[in-house]
């Protein structure tokens, strides 16, 4: 794997490395590096180039931000973040995709919170979408998390986050193995949140830390299937057998109904089932209880939404 060394210029805040993954989108990636170079913290940057075009890799390396660029020579998906974290030398790592970057001062704020709360493993940030900086719908879900406050942690306890809008404690991330290779890409954040919580690390949402996300408009073919597949694999890897079975039957029923991506998701999950069984590790009781609390809350919210729609239609 080829790479180039980089570092934080004098006068910045060298506590946090920004780790970015990119694949075949040089214009967007270079634009993100422009934004990262403008940050007052002047963070060191590690880029994982999941593409195979040497010209793109060269352009990333030539950018004045001075990023350390890793070129694995293949698409590593979300696992590229694991490569970046292992190369980082700072206590904290903030993730960006090639269409997202951090608000000025947010990395310093996140590092201050991680310094002050030694049991905090991951800080989920508020994500602002597009030029008009709309709140990502996930922000509201995280802010309304039903999980009870935890002593010694800032913000709101959660078990979910957006992959391009979070800051991790490097040691905590490495201790739990980072993103799981079986998932590769798509809704991979949930399993990491589970594993951090199971290992005793806090996961919190803090809206004073902000990330900007400018995704390309339009449909993303195949994404629904990836999300469904990885949700089922996460259940097989960490949840009780009866819960995993229930999720399997639900996806089977969705396949029978012809729902978008369901059949592809089920085939993909079944192909990975032997590995999931071999790598299965049940969540501790406390973490499982928190997951069930979130699921119950989600079901209740869905029921109220459905009742509201029926009422308005009556």
133-148: per-residue pLDDT in tens? Answer: 999 999 999 999 999 9
pLDDT of residue 95: 98
Phi, psi dihedrals of residue 52, rounded to the nearest 5°: -130, 20
Task: Indicate whether 309 pLDDT > 90.
Answer: no
Check pLDDT > 80 for residue 7: no
Least confident residue range of 2-11, 29-38, 267-276: 2-11
The answer regarding whether domain 16-213 maps to CATH 3.40.50.620 reads: no
DSSP 22: E
pLDDT at 217: 78
Q: Six-digit token pair at 113?
A: 């919170």
pLDDT of residue 218: 66
Confidence band (pLDDT; 50, 70, 90) for 11?
Answer: low
- Judged against a pLDDT cut of 90, whether residue 220 lies above it is answered with no
In 3D space, the residue among 57, 46, 167 whose CA is nearest the CA of residue 115 turns out to be: 167
Predicted confidence at residue 299, as pLDDT, reads 84
Residue 48, pLDDT score: 98
Task: Provide mean pLDDT across the span 136-163.
Answer: 96
Task: Decide if pLDDT at 254 tops 50.
Answer: yes
Q: Is the pLDDT of residue 275 over 50?
A: yes
- Which pLDDT tens digit goes with each residue over 286-302? 999 999 999 998 888 77
The pLDDT of residue 39 is above 80: yes
Helix intervals (H) in 77-183:
80-87, 106-116, 137-143, 170-175
pLDDT at 9: 52
pLDDT, tens digit, 9 for 90 and up, residues 62-78: 999 999 999 999 999 99
Q: In the predicted model, what is the mean pLDDT of the chain? A: 92
Segment 151-163 mean pLDDT: 96
Residue 255 tokens, joined: 């396949």
Report pLDDT for 207: 97
Cβ contacts of 239 within 8 Å, gap of 6 or more: 247, 282, 283, 288, 291
Q: Alpha carbon of 185 to those of 78, 181, 233: distances in Å? A: 5, 9, 12
The total of other beta-carbon atoms located within 10 Å of residue 115's CB is 12
Residue 207 token pair: 């809206």
Instruction: Tell me how far apart the alpha carbons of residues 127 and 160 are, in angstroms, rounded to a whole number.
Output: 13
Is residue 189 within 8 A of residue 162, CB to CB? The reply is: yes
pLDDT class of 222 with cuts at 50, 70, 90: confident
Separation between Cα atoms, residue 116 and residue 120, nearest integer Å: 9
pLDDT tens-place string over residues 172-211: 999 999 999 999 988 999 999 999 999 999 999 999 999 9
Mean pLDDT of 42-51: 97
Percent of the chain with pLDDT over 70: 92
């Amino acid at each position: 794997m080829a790479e180039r060394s980089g570092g934080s210029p004098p006068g910045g805040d060298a506590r946090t490395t920004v780790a970015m993954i990119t694949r075949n989108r040089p214009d967007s990636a270079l634009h993100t590096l422009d934004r990262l170079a403008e940050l007052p913290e002047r963070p060191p940057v590690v880029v994982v180039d999941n593409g195979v075009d040497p010209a793109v890799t060269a352009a990333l390396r030539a950018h004045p931000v001075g990023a350390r660029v890793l070129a694995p020579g293949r698409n590593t998906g979300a696992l590229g973040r694991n490569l970046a974290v292992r190369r980082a030398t700072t206590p904290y790592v903030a993730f960006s995709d090639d269409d997202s970057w951090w608000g000025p001062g947010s990395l310093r704020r996140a590092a201050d919170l991680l310094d002050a709360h030694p049991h905090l493993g991951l800080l989920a940030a508020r994500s602002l979408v597009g030029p008009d900086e709309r709140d990502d719908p996930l922000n509201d879900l995280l802010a309304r998390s039903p999980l009870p406050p935890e002593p010694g942690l800032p913000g709101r306890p959660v078990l979910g986050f957006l992959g391009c809008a979070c800051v991790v404690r490097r040691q905590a991330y490495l201790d739990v193995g980072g993103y799981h290779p079986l998932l590769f890409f798509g809704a991979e954040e949930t399993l990491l949140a589970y594993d951090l919580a199971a290992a005793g690390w806090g996961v919190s949402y803090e809206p004073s830390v902000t990330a900007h996300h400018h995704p390309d408009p339009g449909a993303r073919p195949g994404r629904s299937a990836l999300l469904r597949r990885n949700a089922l694999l996460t259940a097989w890897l960490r949840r009780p057998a009866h819960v995993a079975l229930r999720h399997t039957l639900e996806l089977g029923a969705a396949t029978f109904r012809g729902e978008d991506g369901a059949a592809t998701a089920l085939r993909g999950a079944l192909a990975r089932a032997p590995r999931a069984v071999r790598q299965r590790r049940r969540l501790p009781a406390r973490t499982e209880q928190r997951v069930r609390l979130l699921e119950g809350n989600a079901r209740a919210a869905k029921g109220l939404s459905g009742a509201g729609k029926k009422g308005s239609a009556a």
